[in-house]
Chains A and B, each alone.
Chain A
Amino acid sequence: MNDNRSVKEKNLELKPSPEKVKIAAFLCKWCSYAGADLAGGSRKKYPPNVIVIRTSCSARTNPLFVWKSLEKGLDGVLVSGCHPGECHYSEGNYHTRRNFAVFRKLLEYIGIEPERFHMSWVSAAEGDKWAQVVKEVVKTVESAGPNTYFSKKKEDNA
C-alpha cells in the first residue's frame, strides 16, 4: 500500500451535497459505541451520514438534545443504548426508554415526521446490527428529505 496516496489525491473536491442527509447518533459508550467499533473491526460497510456523539449512558441523552439537533437543522437523530437488562449502570436504559416513548409522541404531535427520530438497542457484540441500523435509519431519514423546519425555503414553497 502506498502511504503517500493522501498527498497525491490532495485535490479532493470535498463539497458536501446539500441533499445529503446528516444524522446525529447518541451512543452509550458501553454497548452501542462498542458495537459500532466492532462493525469497524469487522469491516461492515454502511453509509457515512451518521456522526456519533459518545455519551456515558443512553440515559444521558436528554430528549431535548434530540430536539436541539433537529432545531439546529440536522435531518435525523438516532439514540442507541444497551439492551434492556444489560445496561452498564443496571437501569439507565429503562429511563431512556420511558423518556423517549413519551418524547417521540410529542415530536409527532407537534408535526415532526416520525422518520427523523430513531432508537435502537445495539450491544457491544452486535456490529452487524449497528451497520444494519445505520442503513435503515439513513434510508428512512432520506425518505423524509432534508430538514427544512425553520428554513425560508419551505415558507416560500408553501
Chain B
Amino acid sequence: MLEQLRKKAKELLKNKEVEVIIGYQKSNNNSFTTPCFIESEDGVDRLTWDEHCVYNLSLYLKEVKGKVGIVAKGCDVKSIVALMQENQIDRDRIKIIALECQAQVDQEGQILEKCRTCQVHIPGMYDELVRSKTSPSKIESKESDKEYSVLEELEAKSTPERWQFWQRQFEKCIRCYACRQVCPLCYCSECISEKTAPQWILPSPSLKGNTTWNIVRAFHLAGRCIDCGECERVCPVNIPLRRLNKKMEKEIQTMFNYVPGLDSKKKPPLVDFRVDDPQEFIR
C-alpha cells in the first residue's frame, strides 16, 4: 500500500495537480507518526502508512491554501464531507488520496475504540484510492455490531450519578482547549469561549466554567461530529469526550435518521427540520 501511496502522491505533485500533500511520516523515534507537508516529488518517500496514523489531517485543510493533496482514512474523509457541507473547503482544490484502513492503534498497541465500530474502512469519497492487498477484518467482532455500546454504562446510571460522573471529569479540565484545537470542525476563527461581551463561559478553570465549556462544545458539535476521536486522544486529563460526542450522534440518528459526514449535499440536522419531527417532550 505504501508504495502505491507514494506513487500516487508523486504523480499528483509531478503533474502539478497539487502544490502540497498533507500526509503521515514516521516520528523521530520511529515508533509513531506525525503529520507532514510534502511540497516536492523527492519528498514523497517520507510518506508512511501503518496502524499508527491516528491524526485527522483534514484539520489542516482550511489553513493550507492552494491546491492540496490529502492522505485520508475513511473517518477523515467524513470530516472533509462535513467541512464541505459547511462551506469551509472548496472540493475543487483538494485531491483526496484515500486509504483503505482496517484499524488504528493507540500507543499501547490497542485498537482504538472508534475503529471497532468503523463503517468506512473504504472511504466514501476520494480522487485516488489505495486499497489493501491483504484480506480485511483483523478485528474480532465482539463489539463491532453495537455502535453505541460505549454509552450503555453511563446511560444506565441515575441522573445524579451521571451528574457526579461528569463533574468528576470536568473537575479535571485545565481548559487547555486541546480538544478544540485538534477538532477539524472547530474551525471558527474566534470561538464563543473567547467572547467577552457577553461572556458565555468563565475563562479560568472552575467547575462551573469547565462544565459550561464542555456542554457548549458538545452541543456545537451535535450533528456535525464525525467521531474521529481526536479530542479524546489529545485530552491531557483523559476526559472521555467521545462519550459526549457519541451520545449526541446517537440521539440525532434516532430522532432525525441522520449520520454526519456521509453526504456533502445534505443539510446538517440542526439547520434543518421536518414538519413531523418528534415533539413528545413539548407540552
Check B200–A106 contact: CB distance below 8 A. no
A120 touches B283 (CB 8 A): yes
A46 at the B interface (CB under 8 A):
no
A150 surroundings in chain B (CB, below 8 A): 207-208, 211
Q: Which residues 64-105 in A have Cβ within 8 Å of B in the complex?
A: 64, 67-68, 71, 84-85, 91, 94-95, 97-105
Given contacts A98-B256, A105-B247, contact A120 B211 (CB under 8 A): no
Interface size on B, residues (CB 8 A): 43
Known: A64-B216, A85-B275, A98-B269. A119 touches B248 (CB 8 A): no
Is the C-beta of B277 less than 8 angstroms from some C-beta in chain A? yes
Given contacts A67-B215, A110-B166, A119-B281, contact A101 B154 (CB under 8 A): no
B211 to chain A, nearest CB (A): 7
Among A71, A99, A104, A114, which residue has the most Cβ atoms of chain B within 10 A?
A71
B85 to chain A, nearest CB (A): 16
Separation of A149 and B167 alpha carbons in the complex (Å): 10
What are the residues of chain B within 8 A of A84 when measuring CB–CB? 275, 279
User: Which of B15-23, B46-54, B92-100, B155-163 lies at the interface?
Assistant: B155-163
Q: Are B279 and A101 in contact (CB under 8 A)?
A: yes
Decide if A125 is an interface residue (CB 8 Å cutoff).
no
> Are A106 and B159 in contact, with the CB atoms below 8 A?
no
Size bracket, chain A contacts:
35 or more
The DSSP consensus for interface residues of chain A is helix
The reply to whether the CB of B255 lies closer than 8 angstroms to some CB of chain A is: yes
Q: Which of A63, A91, A112 contacts B273 (CB 8 A)?
A: A91
A101 touches B272 (CB 8 A): no
| Given A68-B200, A102-B255: A112 in contact with B248 (beta carbons within 8 A) | no
> Given contacts A102-B248, A106-B247, A111-B162, is CB(A118)–CB(B216) below 8 Å?
no
Contact of A109 with B277 in the complex, beta carbons under 8 Å:
no
Which of B163, B208, B212, B251 contacts A105, CB < 8 Å?
B251
**Are A106 and B248 touching (Cβ within 8 A)?**
yes
Q: Does B222 contact A (CB under 8 A)?
A: yes
Q: Is A121 part of the contact surface with B, judged by Cβ < 8 Å?
A: yes
Asked if A108 meets B159 with Cβ closer than 8 Å, knowing A67-B212, A71-B212, the reply is yes
Binding site for A on B (CB under 8 A): 154-155, 159-167, 200, 207-208, 211-212, 214-216, 218-219, 222-223, 244, 247-248, 251-252, 255-256, 269-275, 277-279, 281-283
